[in-house]
């Protein structure tokens, strides 16, 4: 899955989708998708990522107490 890094505007390929969907995890492993060579994976805070359209990630992916 590709998301956009808010600060740089570059696409990030999320390596671990399970961590993205888990609201108790504050970050995900991913790699920038730019240039010709595959970039090394690094950790990204979920609150620094948005969908490529600019839409924010769902609250149920970010907040473990979203139902209350």
Span 8-22, pLDDT tens digits: 999 999 999 999 999
Q: In the predicted model, is pLDDT for residue 29 greater than 90?
A: yes
Question: What are the start-end ranges of the H helices in 4-68?
Answer: 17-21, 59-62
Phi, psi (deg, nearest 5) at residue 19: -65, -35
Number of residues in the chain: 68
% of residues, the chain, pLDDT over 90: 84
48 or 67, greater pLDDT: 48
34-45 confidence digits (pLDDT tens) = 778 888 999 999
Is 80 exceeded by the pLDDT of residue 27?
yes
């Amino acid at each position: 899955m590709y998301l956009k890094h808010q600060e740089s505007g570059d696409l990030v390929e999320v390596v671990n989708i399970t961590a993205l969907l888990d609201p108790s995890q504050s970050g995900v492993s991913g790699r920038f998708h730019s240039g010709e060579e595959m970039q090394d994976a690094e950790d990204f805070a979920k609150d620094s990522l948005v969908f490529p359209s600019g839409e924010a990630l769902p609250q149920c992916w970010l907040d473990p107490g979203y139902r209350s």
